[in-house]
Amino acid sequence: MKQAAQRILTDEILQNIRKHEAGTNGLKRRALRCHYCNHKEVEIFEDARGHVKAKCGKCGHEAIYNVAFCRNGAVRFKLLTL
């Protein structure tokens, strides 16, 4: 298995990490759960928009989620009739 290259954390990189973390202060967050096993995959902040692709750490399935359809920690599906 190919290993990720080690990254040296400089002061500039650490400042960027802290800046991004500070940008989430006061925002509500909710869990995005795996479509296949309901394992908590990702936390989404209330200002998140669009689609997210995530690989489940428990079952290994990859799935794409539309953040707009994910509410209250569960993914709700809308049935469409053709």
- CA dist 59 and 57 (Å) reads 6
74 contributes a contact to Zn ion by CB under 5 A = no
Do 48 and 68 meet the contact criterion of CB atoms below 8 Å apart?
Answer: no
- CA dist 62 and 56 (Å) reads 6
Minimum separation from the CB atom of position 67 to Zn ion (A): 18
**20-39 mask for Zn ion (x: CB under 5 A)?**
--------------x-xx-x
Single-letter residue type at 74: A
Minimum separation from the CB atom of position 71 to Zn ion (A): 19
59 contributes a contact to Zn ion by CB under 5 A = yes
